[in-house]
Amino acid sequence: MHVFEIKEDFLLDGKPIKLISGAIHYFRMTPAQWKDSLYNLKALGANTVETYIPWNIHEPLEGQFDFEGNKNIEKFVKLAQSLELMVILRPSVYICAEWEFGGLPSWILKEKGIRLRSTDPRFMQKVRNYFSMLIPKLTPLQLTEGGPVIMMQIENEYGSYGMEKEYLRQTKDLMREFGVTQPLFTSDGAWNEVLDAGTLIEEDIFVTGNFGSQSKENATVLRDFMHRHGKNWPIMCMEYWDGWFNRWGEAIVKRDADDLARDVKDMLQIGSLNLYMFHGGTNFGFYNGCSARGSLDLPQITSYDYDALLTEWGEPTEKYYAVQKVIKEVCPDVWQAPPRSKKLTSFGSYPVTASVSLFNTLNTMSSAIHSSYPKSMEEASTGYGYLLYSINIKNYFHENKLKIVEAGDRVQVFIEGDPIATQYQQSLGDELTYSSSSLNETLAVDFLVENLGRVNYGFKFNSPTQSKGIRGGIIHDIHFHQGYTHYPLPLDSAQIRAIDFSAQPNEHQPSFYQIKLTLTDVEDTFIDCSAYGKGCVFVNGINLGRYWDKGPVYSLYCPKEFLTKGDNEIVIFETEGIAIDFLTFLDHPLYKKNS
């Protein structure tokens, strides 16, 4: 049995040790990818791996827990141990991580007025319920129990959000109650305001910082903060940012490899670090997060490549070799080795075999929910993906007005199946003027609402805007409409299987396109989305994530584990009325349209 302690140095069995760690998110890749990623981290010269644990994937519905497949945190930790890596776990209920709602589950928003990340008894009871299932899975993996876990996080960057120390204490006490005996820590930015607000240094909870440059200056802030509280702990950067995330419609953020290597060398000479990210992975499904900038929500893209040391698909980059070199310079005794590479394959192009309008297959995919007033996504569904609201309004046979009140995030409006408007946060609430050539006494009006991703950082956590769908209602002329039919569209594998491709197609409406193909072999690949508009792609029922012609990425990564030797079905959900005739596989990602 080994012992890890935090004194003036990190001590492993009484001997000083420098932690050289990298972040790998088990939930952003397939389990088959874990070993190569962990091996490449070890080959870099690292001795530790760090990962967040997102609440929303492990308790997708309240009281229903899932630790299977790429959610099997125990298997991931044990695999790290088999490669002689120590493990830092961050099971805090909030993770940020450019992940949907910072890891909080969407169902928590059904509790009206709940104060998140606080001592609100309703919130803490839900934390207790989650921790009662999660923490007992982690405690046998602690170093003192023969596992590789050396420390765990209480909360993440709490000083950038709140200052309620009692909330941190209650969280700490829960972790201890459920059996955590290893050292606990907090991580915050390296400036005094957030360190004062977000740490429990007065209760001997270790303090770490998050930054990606100016190592000496940031380390000085951390050291001075510790000294003012009578602590002489080692310096550790828990998130040494080696790249950055990307948002739709913005240029890809890149960082020079030599610049990173110089900063990493400075940090290693000072103390310990965790490279964030070592391997970024992919926001499969609808789990991408969202930035908040002023009044705007800016959703992040599907790829979480992060310009990290390994690419999204796991290939070592120029940064990998530059950082590997400086690790050896500072720590000449570390074990290093050549990293493993990845193979990417193009399978060519395949024609679309069938298509159907969403409106013509709704009833085979989704069960209608009727109510007088609109329900939010969280009330009507899982809170992810799409929700279609259908109403019938009287036809007055002249120009008329509609207004969508309090909705998020993206609403497409159809009258008698014809698209008339698409509204985003900036325009939602603006009055729509419409006319119809229909001679019917009533008009069918549909509102397809997409949750583009809840914010993962900042002041909007307790904002009503994080509840998705139509929250207020629809105004027709100047009165609120009554009478709604809801069709939840989380687009899970069961819904994709239920699409009726024998129903009528209509390429001008949101549509599903089916491609059937046979493969004799499978490898990692990319799907070319450069000719498409907006939507998502499903490979054998698995949601690869969103594509959008706003860029900056025009392809979706498909791990080989999602494909099968033999027959495969790929389904594209295209919302923009763009006819899709074919699907093309690539052996590289696309960063320019039609390139």
Known catalytic residues are 157, 239
**C-alpha dist (Å) from residue 345 to 158, 183, 483, 544:** 43, 45, 51, 17
Q: Determine whether 231 is exposed, middle or buried from the number of CB atoms within 10 Å of its CB (0-12, 13-18, 19+).
A: middle
Name beta bridge partners: 546.
536
Helical packing angle, 318-330 and 31-44, nearest 10°: 40
User: Do residues 98 and 288 make contact, with C-beta atoms less than 8 angstroms apart?
Assistant: yes
Computed on alpha carbons and rounded to an integer, the radius of gyration of the chain in Å comes to: 25
Distance CA 372, CA 482 (A): 5
Helical packing angle, 121-138 and 165-177, nearest 10°: 40
User: Do residues 24 and 276 make contact, with C-beta atoms less than 8 angstroms apart?
Assistant: no
* b/e 14-33 (16+ beta carbons within 10 angstroms → b): eeebbbbbbbbbbbbbbbeb
Determine the 3-state secondary structure of 482 from DSSP. coil
Distance CA 586, CA 430 (A): 41
Cα angle: 451, vertex 455, 458; to 5 degrees: 160
Distance CA 162, CA 285 (A): 30
Question: What is the secondary structure of 512-554 as a DSSP string?
Answer: EEEEEEEESS--BEEEE-TT--EEEEEETTEEEEEEETT-S--
User: Do residues 379 and 534 make contact, with C-beta atoms less than 8 angstroms apart?
Assistant: no
Distance CA 454, CA 492 (A): 19
